[in-house]
Structures are given as structure tokens and as C-alpha cells.
């Protein structure tokens, strides 16, 4: 381990070369430690193991703080161990204390590019260029080499949704752990899928034409609202739902109000939520 090309002893003389300049090429994880620090001794083998496992995707730089007090002071180290991650010549993140391996790994994953990241970027470029088949192939490959990774799953589900494969997209999203399913992005995607399925097979143009012929057709207005929500046209969708509430609060067991609430949850802190929540309360009270 001492001879590892991925682990380096760093001091004031070589800090600029190893850390400042080195982090222009790949992330450098700087471990500020001391001999007397028991948590430092428990953390060090965890960091060394991960440096070997990641096989050069980051460099572990070990700084003895007692012997390099100037460096510790320069970077504001006040407790040991302190671990700072450098990218592009500057510290971008840090943690303190002897974290367990799982949490250190989670810390690293926020900053270290994986092969699946490059595939997601390539898939997004292919999709933007109109080559959805190539984009799908790239994302399926990314899922094969990095199975179950939330970033890959959500990108794949998004593309499948765009292709109209709603059931498959929903199954992928529901395969994620509960914590990931509850994230704002995934929750919003699941809501959009629910709206898309409930909106039926009629196109927007067909629904709009039918509603123009019969403005009192509440069922068509509701289907149109769901279709608009699925296509992220939120304001007209919410206006239709308010209209339904005005015309018939009993429609499908108060479906318009319940759908509005789902839309509010999906949109989070969007200014439209404040505006239409106020309008909804004015109708109710």
C-alpha cells in the first residue's frame, strides 16, 4: 500500500504539485491526520482501500498536520481527521471525523465521474440530436455496467417516457430504493407517468376540439388537464382543474381538487403552486 501510485505523502514542498496541479487531472482527496489521533488511524485504512479500489480515479494525499502546520492552518483545519476533496486546483468538499466506509464512498460518488456518467451524457446528446435509438442503447449499456444506479435509471425512465413506453418507465422508477423514489425528481416523474396514463390515448388536439364543441363536457376537460400535466403545461392544466371544481365538485369523487394537490406536490416551490393554491382555497372557502 505504501508503494501505491494512488497514495502519496504530501508536505509543504510537494503540495502544489500533487494537490493543486494534480487535481487539474483527477480529484485529489487530502487527508489531514496526526500520529496521536485515534480516529485518524481508523479512517486511514478505509481511505487507502478506496484509493486502490477506485484504481486512479482519485489520488489520496496524506498530510501529517503536526509536521505541516502551515498547510493545516492555510486550509482551516481545526479538528482531525479532516478530509478535503480538491478538483481543478481548489477544495470543493470536505468531511470531518472517521466516517464509515459506506459514507466515505457516498462522499466520493458525488465527485468522481463514472463510465455510466459519460454514457448518460452521450445519450442526452444523441436524444437531443433526434437519435433516440442510440440514446436508448447507451442508457441500457450504462444500466448493464452500473446496474440499479439512480442516475442511470432516471435517465432511462425519462427516455422511455418520451418514447411512450410508460409502463416500462414506471417499473424502472419503482425498482429504485424508497429513499430514491421519494426524491423530488423521481416523485415528479412518477406523477407525470400517472397523469399520462390517466389522460387516455386521445391527443391534445382531439381533446381540445371536443371541449370546444361542448365546454360543459367535464370528463373531456379532466382528460385534457391530465394530458397537459403529462406534457408539463402546468398552468393551463391547473386552470382546467379549477374550472371543474367550479362546475362540479363531486366529479369523480372530487378528482379535480385531488389532482391539483398532486400537481402542487410535484412542482414543489414553483411560483405557480402559490398562485393556484390560493385560487383553490378561494373556491373552497
Residue boundaries of the structural domains of the chain: 7-109, 115-196, 204-284
What integer is the mean pLDDT of 85-112? Answer: 94
pLDDT band with cut points at 50, 70 and 90 for residue 268: confident
What average pLDDT does this structure show over 128-157?
93
Q: What is the mean pLDDT of the chain?
A: 93
- Class of the 7-109 domain? alpha beta
Rounded to whole angstroms, the Cα distance separating 144 from 150 reads 13
User: For the whole model, what pTM was predicted?
Assistant: 0.62
- For residue 2, the model assigns a pLDDT of 52
| HSE-CB for 124 with a 13 A CA cutoff | 10
pLDDT at 1 (0 to 100): 43
Distance of CA 193 to the CA centre of its chain: 18
Which CATH architecture group holds 204-284?
Alpha Horseshoe (1.25)
How does residue 232 score in pLDDT terms, banded at 50, 70 and 90?
confident
Q: Is there a shared CATH topology between the 115-196 domain and the 204-284 domain?
A: yes
Considering only 196-210, 233-247, 269-283, which range has the smallest mean pLDDT?
Answer: 196-210
Any long-range contacts for 22-26 (C-beta under 8 Å, 24+ apart)? 22/59, 22/61, 23/86, 23/87, 23/88, 23/89, 23/90, 24/88, 24/89, 26/56, 26/57, 26/58, 26/59
- The full 3-state SS of 32-100, as one line of letters, equals EECCCCHHHHHHHHHHHHHHHHCCCCCEEEEEECCCCHHHHHHCCCCCCCEEEEEECCEEEEEEECCCC
Catalytic residues: 37, 40
Q: What is the mean pLDDT of residues 175-182?
A: 87
Comparing 202 with 30, the larger pLDDT belongs to 30
Sorted by sequence, the CB contacts under 8 Å of residue 36 that are 6+ apart come out as 66
pLDDT at residue 196 tops 90: no
The pLDDT assigned to 109 comes to 87
Adjacency order of strands within the sheet including 7-10: 7-10, 59-64, 28-33, 82-87, 90-96
Give the pLDDT score at 181: 87
Are 50 and 21 contacting, i.e. CB atoms less than 8 angstroms apart?
A: no
The mean pLDDT of 71-94, rounded to a whole number, is: 96
CATH architecture of 115-196: Alpha Horseshoe (1.25)
Mean local confidence (pLDDT), 221-228: 94
Range with lowest mean pLDDT among 39-43, 185-189, 257-261: 185-189
Q: How far apart are CA 69 and CA 86, in angstroms?
A: 19
Amino acid at each position: 500500500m505504501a508503494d501505491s501510485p494512488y497514495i502519496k505523502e504530501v508536505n509543504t514542498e510537494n503540495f502544489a504539485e500533487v494537490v493543486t496541479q494534480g487535481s487539474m487531472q483527477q480529484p485529489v482527496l487530502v487527508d489531514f491526520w496526526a500520529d496521536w489521533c485515534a480516529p485518524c488511524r481508523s479512517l486511514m485504512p478505509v481511505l487507502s482501500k478506496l484509493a486502490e479500489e477506485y484504481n486512479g480515479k482519485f489520488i489520496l494525499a496524506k498530510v501529517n498536520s503536526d509536521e505541516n502546520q502551515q498547510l493545516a492552518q492555510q486550509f482551516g483545519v481545526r479538528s482531525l481527521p479532516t478530509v478535503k476533496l480538491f478538483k481543478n486546483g481548489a477544495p470543493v468538499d470536505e468531511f470531518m471525523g472517521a466516517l464509515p466506509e459506506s459514507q466515505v464512498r457516498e462522499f466520493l460518488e458525488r465527485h468522481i465521474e463514472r463510465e455510466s456518467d459519460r454514457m448518460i451524457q452521450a445519450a442526452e446528446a444523441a436524444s437531443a440530436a433526434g437519435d433516440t435509438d442510440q440514446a436508448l442503447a447507451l442508457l441500457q449499456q450504462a444500466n448493464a455496467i452500473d446496474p440499479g444506479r439512480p442516475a442511470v435509471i432516471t435517465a432511462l425512465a425519462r427516455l422511455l417516457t418520451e418514447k411512450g413506453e410508460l409502463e416500462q418507465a414506471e417499473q424502472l422508477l419503482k425498482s429504485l430504493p424508497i429513499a430514491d423514489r421519494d426524491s423530488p425528481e423521481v416523485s415528479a416523474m412518477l406523477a407525470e407517468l400517472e397523469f399520462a396514463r390517466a389522460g387516455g390515448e386521445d391527443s391534445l388536439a382531439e381533446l381540445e376540439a371536443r371541449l370546444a364543441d361542448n365546454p360543459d363536457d367535464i370528463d373531456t376537460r379532466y382528460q385534457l388537464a391530465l394530458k397537459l400535466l403529462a406534457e408539463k403545461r402546468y398552468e393551463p392544466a391547473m386552470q382546467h382543474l379549477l374550472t371543474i371544481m367550479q362546475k362540479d365538485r363531486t366529479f369523480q369523487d372530487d378528482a379535480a381538487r385531488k389532482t391539483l394537490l398532486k400537481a402542487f406536490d410535484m412542482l414543489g416551490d414553483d411560483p405557480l403552486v402559490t398562485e393556484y393554491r390560493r385560487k383553490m382555497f378561494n373556491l373552497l372557502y
